[in-house]
Structure 1
Amino acid sequence: MPRDTYPKFRAVAVQASSVFLDRDATIEKMEDLVEEAASKGADLVVFPESYIPAFPVWNIVYAPIDQHDFYRRLFDNALTIGSAPYKKIAQIAKSNKVFLSVGITEKDSISMGAMWNTNLLFNREGQLLNRHRKLVPTWAEKLTWANGDASQLHPVDTELGKIGALICGENTNTLSRFALLAQGEQVHISCYPPVWPFQRPEAGKSYHLTNAITLRAAAHAFEGKVFNIVSSGVLDEDAIEQVSQGDSNIESILRNAPQPVSLIVGPTGDVIGEPLVGKEGMVEAEIDISESIILKQAHDIVGYYNRFDIFQLKMDKRSHVPLSIENDELTDHLINNANSDLETLSSNSSDLQKA
């Protein structure tokens, strides 16, 4: 008996270090990793938060007055949409025929200094499907990144299913997660930093990043009955040395902070890809979108397991821009007529003077 069919594909979450604050070298490293993932049969390859050119961990361990050099280096190596490095990333996706998700620090041509924490998603042809800027930088990250907007806070419909993405702490934002689910999300991408020290080691209450990521990944997958592809970074020796700058206290904080985890979670909330903690590698899993169907008999929070007559969510998807120009046709008409009258008056005055 004929029936509808649903996407099946292979997902790979890459856990890797950036080449610290070196955009071009990091892109070259990413190219090798994408080729490796493609050789494993990957259809979707996911990289960590701000993988290009590095996560600004110095925001957490230095006072603002001591961060200027890092900020400048990050800006100089940040990515502009449409630039040559951007086109290189698009070509990597196209050459390997994979869907490619990567976290970047983004800059644009309007402000010489503003940056955003951005996730990019490319299709197999190297076309950009989505560019999501993190809505609210978390804690000390506000020293580097500006607020994003909801202009591209939506899943994109692809041959693999409807793919959405949130960055790090956004996966704690219940309304952001629900907004994606309510627009039909089936595959969720979560990207995280290489380290996130929240307390000094001696306080004994450091933010347990491994547990926090696992909890959030399972919660979203279970609540929405979706697959969750989680990619976290790695802080390598070179990054530790460059950030600590010989300060043993800062080095201790970086080395003793809990490590993140990369994993893949199914719609039951169970981990289906072997988790990877604190080292470089890849997490792989086979995804079958149809596994969500039966589970939604019990809980469908964007369907019949909700009360939309009681709860309502609104989202403003307008882009945040520094200037909105509205064309006043009447004013333009009056100005043009006035200019024409002035030209005529000037011409007449010139003729009278000659006479």
Structure 2
Amino acid sequence: MSLIHLAAIQAAPVFFDKAASTEKACHWIAEAGKQGADIAAFGETWLPGYPFFIEAPLSDLWWEANALYLEQAVRLDGPELAQIARAARQAGCDVVIGIAELDPATEGSIYASLVFISRDGEILGRHRKIKPTHHERSVWSDGDAEGLQVYPREYGRLSGLNCWEHNIMLPGFSLICQGTQIHVAAWPGREPETAPSDPVWSRQLLLSRAFASQAGAYVIAPAGLRLTEHVPERFRPLSAFEHTGQSAIIDPRGEIIAGPAEGETILMARADLNEVRKAKAACDPAGHYSRPDLFELKLKGERVYPPGPR
């Protein structure tokens, strides 16, 4: 396949309700399939939602929200992902979705994970966010390197990272070394213009575009949507800001070809793998445009750059 159709799904989940959020995700996957999507991607921890309460002062209500968030976290082998996998198969498109993944051993810890699901309804793998950002560390655990891999698909090589993982260079470079061609940059969503200036939220498009240019890959940058009206009324005092989405799709030169999006929508763009090949021919940072005599990268103790035997 040379021409493929990319979809960024921008919608609000049903906060603190993983069953209802799963139903809503399946609806959007079906809609993306009807529009001919080959890949449909959701934002960071879309299921069952980004922990909006993390920047609020500690209180009894804060701890209640945190406990409820833990209760609503999703297991990889749970019914929610099985339902989404069925929806992917019915829609005939691959799905990449951010989840709050429950630790299956302790059921007391959560990871910010990206789950990759094939159009055949198979879970290809998951990537746990290596280091939660700032206040996220009060809710999410540190991830691992198991999911830092590129998935060969019939249309190309697929990868993904969460949010500010794009601001630490080695995870992205490890995916570039594996030849990523279509990448999902999952974000919680952009704060509105009136929010206090904060570098954590101001680089969503900047970092997504930079990765596209560096990798010579298409980037689907789905972002979360969370307005005050989406938060259960009891917990609105904990919601310090809103997420307004601003999803985008970016070509291998780093140019925005769809978006930024407003409101609940499916952002669609057509990708041409010939454009990927052109970009990589100009600059392959793990190949001809590199210095393997100067640098080496190991992932979990195994060398991924330069390629070949030790």
TM score, norm. by length of structure 1: 0.79
The equivalent residue for 1:182 is: 177
- Which of these two proteins has the greater Rg computed from alpha carbons? 1
The equivalent residue for 2:163 is: 168
Backbone CA RMSD of aligned residues? 2.3
Aligned match for 2:253, one of 253, 268, 272: 268
Secondary structure at the aligned position of 1:276 is classed as coil
Q: Which consecutive unaligned segments of at least 5 residues does structure 2 have?
A: 303-310
Instruction: Answer yes or no: is 1:254 the counterpart of 2:249.
Output: no
Secondary structure at the aligned position of 2:186 is classed as strand
The equivalent residue for 1:77 is: 72
CA-CA distance at 1:274 after TM superposition = 2.9
CA-CA distance at 1:173 after TM superposition = 1.4
Contact map agreement 1:116 1:147 (CA 8 A) in 2: yes
CA-CA distance at 1:317 after TM superposition = 6.9
Q: Matched residues in 2 for 1:107 and 1:208: separation?
A: 25
CA-CA distance at 1:177 after TM superposition = 0.6
Question: Where does 1:312-351 land on structure 2 (aligned, <5 Å)?
Answer: 312-316=296-300
Contact map agreement 1:12 1:42 (CA 8 A) in 2: yes
CA-CA distance at 1:81 after TM superposition = 1.4
- Identity value in percent: 27
Moved more, 65-74 or 10-19: 65-74
Contact map agreement 2:65 2:235 (CA 8 A) in 1: no
Matched AA of 1:305: Y
The equivalent residue for 2:224 is: 233
C-alpha distance 194-296 of structure 1, shift in aligned 2 (>3 A) = closer
Matched AA of 2:169: T
CA-CA distance at 1:72 after TM superposition = 1.3
Q: Matched residues in 1 for 2:159 and 2:150: separation?
A: 4
Contact map agreement 1:57 1:195 (CA 8 A) in 2: no
Q: Matched residues in 2 for 1:226 and 1:64: separation?
A: 44
CA-CA distance at 1:208 after TM superposition = 7.5
The equivalent residue for 2:189 is: 194
CA-CA distance at 1:65 after TM superposition = 6.6
Contact map agreement 1:213 1:260 (CA 8 A) in 2: no
C-alpha distance 227-286 of structure 1, shift in aligned 2 (>3 A) = same
The equivalent residue for 2:209 is: 218
Secondary structure at the aligned position of 1:296 is classed as helix
Matched AA of 1:205: S
**1:7-57: CA deviation from partner (whole Å, max 9, x where unpaired):** 321011011101011000001111111111111111110011111111002
The equivalent residue for 2:197 is: 205
Instruction: Answer yes or no: is 1:38 the counterpart of 2:33.
Output: yes
Between structures 1 and 2, the one with greater helix share: 1
Matched AA of 2:221: V
Q: Matched residues in 1 for 2:187 and 2:55: separation?
A: 15
The equivalent residue for 2:117 is: 122
Aligned match for 1:133, one of 128, 131, 149: 128
Q: Matched residues in 2 for 1:222 and 1:59: separation?
A: 33
Aligned match for 2:281, one of 297, 301, 306: 297
The equivalent residue for 1:308 is: 292
Q: Matched residues in 2 for 1:196 and 1:274: separation?
A: 16
Q: Which consecutive unaligned segments of at least 5 residues does structure 1 have?
A: 1-5, 319-355
C-alpha distance 263-286 of structure 1, shift in aligned 2 (>3 A) = same
Secondary structure at the aligned position of 1:80 is classed as coil
Q: Matched residues in 1 for 2:136 and 2:22: separation?
A: 23
Instruction: Answer yes or no: is 1:159 the counterpart of 2:154.
Output: yes
The equivalent residue for 2:265 is: 281
Q: Matched residues in 2 for 1:65 and 1:301: separation?
A: 50
Matched AA of 2:85: A
**1:315-338: CA deviation from partner (whole Å, max 9, x where unpaired):** 1179xxxxxxxxxxxxxxxxxxxx
Q: Matched residues in 1 for 2:61 and 2:94: separation?
A: 39
